[in-house]
């Protein structure tokens, strides 16, 4: 048995095409395009690459991209002033502050300053609360992308047993809430879980988001399980001095047991920016008093 490869890159491409197709009708109704503002503090190379990718994807979808860059020694007051400006800017529907921030800035204070209705990252405590009680809000992009891939693969998730490995506020906890919302039976596993392989072996759905390279082995899995690997870990490659990306799941052994699995790279990763654009389009419609387009 060899698992089907869940192609997140292809799915994300289709989602971005569907999003772009909604923009003309929105513009006809409102006289403007949806707008996403990204704030970058400092010159972290990985963050700079992400910001460029987000800006490019935003423009390709026919939307407005606004970038605000601050030096690495920016003060909290300077960053909060930009967020306040963006909260009040009617051309901006979504606000994303690129994390991590320099040490002198408090991430929780910064996130709390964003208007929850423009919080397309889904990190504001108001949106976490909305997710927990089942009210409309914004969900962090990575777990929502995972859910889209699962539903595309499986269809109805009701009654399935799901194990989420990892309990972060960005992936693990919201992923569990989303699966509960789909009527799964959900277990959140983590570093203190006793006999983790036995817990994982119960699951029809495994979402690995623990940040440990290739930790989940094939013999941890139930035959036919669907595996979503959120991990992105850089490890030594086969050639001296070269590195490669691997997930939190040992792909080779897991693919012998699972029915379907996301690769790394090319699985969950491409979904994150696509869902960010999706959240921005939904935010734009809600702010304009319009129903968000179906199928997003």
Domain containing 100 — which CATH number?
A: 3.40.50.10860
**Can you give the pLDDT at residue 295?**
84
The per-residue pLDDT for range 167-224, each reduced to its tens digit, is: 999 999 999 999 999 999 999 999 899 999 999 999 999 999 999 999 999 999 999 9
Task: Let me know whether 117 and 149 are in one domain.
Answer: no
Verify that 165 and 108 share a domain, yes or no.
Answer: no
Residues 180, 264 within the same domain: yes
237 in a structural domain: yes
Same domain, 249 and 158: yes
Number of independent structural domains in the chain: 2
Same domain, 49 and 167: no
Residue 11: inside a domain: no
* Model confidence at 84: pLDDT above 70: yes
pLDDT band at 241 (very low <50, low <70, confident <90, very high): confident
294 occurs within a structural domain: no
Out of 93, 115, 119, 121, the active site residue is 121
Query: Does residue 243 carry a pLDDT above 90?
Result: no
To the nearest 5 percent, what fractions of the chain are helix, strand and coil? 45, 15, 40
Q: Quick one: 56 and 118 in the same domain?
A: yes
Q: Give me the pLDDT at residue 1, please.
A: 62
The yes-or-no answer on residue 121 being catalytic is yes
Residue 83 inside a domain? The answer is yes
Residue range 94-98: average pLDDT?
96
8-30 vs 45-60: helix axis angle to the nearest 10?
60
The parent domain of residue 158 ranges over 141-270
Q: Which of 54, 118, 173, 229 is catalytic?
A: 54
In a domain, 161, yes or no: yes
Whether residue 190 is found in the same domain as residue 237? yes
Q: Residue 90 catalytic?
A: no
Instruction: Please tell me the predicted confidence (pLDDT) of residue 49.
Output: 86
Other CB atoms closer than 10 Å to residue 110's CB: what's the count?
19
Q: Give domain status of residue 8, yes or no.
A: no
What share of the chain in percent tops pLDDT 90? 90
- What pTM was computed for the model? 0.95
pLDDT digits (tens, 9 = 90+) for 6-65: 999 999 999 999 999 999 999 999 999 999 999 999 988 888 888 899 999 999 999 999
Q: Are 147 and 252 contained in the same domain?
A: yes
Q: Which of 93, 98, 117, 118 is catalytic?
A: 98
**What pLDDT score does 296 carry?**
86
Tens digits of per-residue pLDDT, 121-157? 999 999 999 999 999 999 999 999 999 999 999 999 9
Q: What is the secondary structure of 168-223 as a DSSP string?
A: -TTTHHHHHHHHHHTT-EEEEE-TT-TTHHHHHTT-SEEEE-S--TT-B-GGGSPT
Pair (61, 117) in one structural domain: yes
Average the pLDDT over each of 71-85, 147-161, 210-224, 236-250 and give the range with the smallest value. Answer: 236-250
**Whether residue 160 sits in one domain with residue 109:** no
Output the domain CATH number for residue 160: 3.40.50.720
The rounded distance, in Å, linking the Cα atoms of 61 and 271 is: 15
109, 176: one domain: no
């Amino acid at each position: 048995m060899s698992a089907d490869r869940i192609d997140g890159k292809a799915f994300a491409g289709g989602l971005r095409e569907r999003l772009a197709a909604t923009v003309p009708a929105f513009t006809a109704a409102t006289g403007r395009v949806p707008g996403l503002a990204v704030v970058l503090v400092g010159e972290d190379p990985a963050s700079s690459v992400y910001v460029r990718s987000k800006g490019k994807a935003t423009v390709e979808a026919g939307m407005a991209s606004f970038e605000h860059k601050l030096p690495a020694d920016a003060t909290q007051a300077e960053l909060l002033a930009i967020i306040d400006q963006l909260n009040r800017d009617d051309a901006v529907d979504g606000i994303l502050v690129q994390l991590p921030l320099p040490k002198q800035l408090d991430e929780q204070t910064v996130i709390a300053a964003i208007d929850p209705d423009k919080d397309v990252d889904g990190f504001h405590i108001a949106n976490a609360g909305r997710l927990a009680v089942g009210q409309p809000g914004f969900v962090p992009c990575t777990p929502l992308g995972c859910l889209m891939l699962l539903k595309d693969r499986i269809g109805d998730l009701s009654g399935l047993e799901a194990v989420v490995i990892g309990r972060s506020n960005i992936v693990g906890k919201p992923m569990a809430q989303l699966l509960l919302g789909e009527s799964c039976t959900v277990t959140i596993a983590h570093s203190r879980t006793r006999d983790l392989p036995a817990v994982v072996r119960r699951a029809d759905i495994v979402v690995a988001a623990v940040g440990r390279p290739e930790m989940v082995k094939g013999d941890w899995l139930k035959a036919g399980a669907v595996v979503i690997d959120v991990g992105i870990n850089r490890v030594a490659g086969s050639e001296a001095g070269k590195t490669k990306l691997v997930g939190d799941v040992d792909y080779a052994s897991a693919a012998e047991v699972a029915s379907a699995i996301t690769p790394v790279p090319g699985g969950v990763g491409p979904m994150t920016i696509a869902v960010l654009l999706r959240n921005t389009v939904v935010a734009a419609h809600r702010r304009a008093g319009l129903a968000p387009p179906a199928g997003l």
